[in-house]
Amino acid sequence: MASIRTLHILNKRPGHPAFKSCLSSLENQDALLLTENGVLALVDKGLTLEGCVYALSPDLKARAIPGDASVAQAIDYDEMVALTARAQRVISW
């Protein structure tokens, strides 16, 4: 399991200013976790997500967002906790 420098937790909808701030601060070795309204990023054609992306599965289900495993890995709260433990630091946008 590769180490994570920064885990970015993003719960904003794609149109929110913090959404852009978050994406522009992603670096190599970082991971992005989409939660709540943030999961809409997976169906937004105006966006391209790269790198190591996770999405919170209950939030995907609630919004009927099809999880594309090639773009983002769907995880549950247990795995979210594990990610926050694995990462050197965590930023909640």
Q: Which two tokens stand for residue 51?
A: 């790198």
The interface region with a second copy, picked from 9-17, 36-44, 75-83, 85-93 by CB under 8 A, is 9-17
38 binds, among another protein, a second copy, none (CB under 5 to 8 A by kind): another protein
Q: Is 45 in the site for another protein (CB under 8 A)?
A: yes
Q: Is 15 in the site for a second copy (CB under 8 A)?
A: yes
Is 87 in a helix, a strand, or coil? Answer: strand
- As measured in angstroms, the least distance from the Cβ of 60 to another protein is 8
Is 40 in a helix, a strand, or coil? Answer: helix
DSSP per-residue codes, 52-82: EEEEEHHHHHHTTPPP-TTT-EEE-HHHHHH
What residues make contact with a second copy under the rule CB under 8 A? 13, 15-17
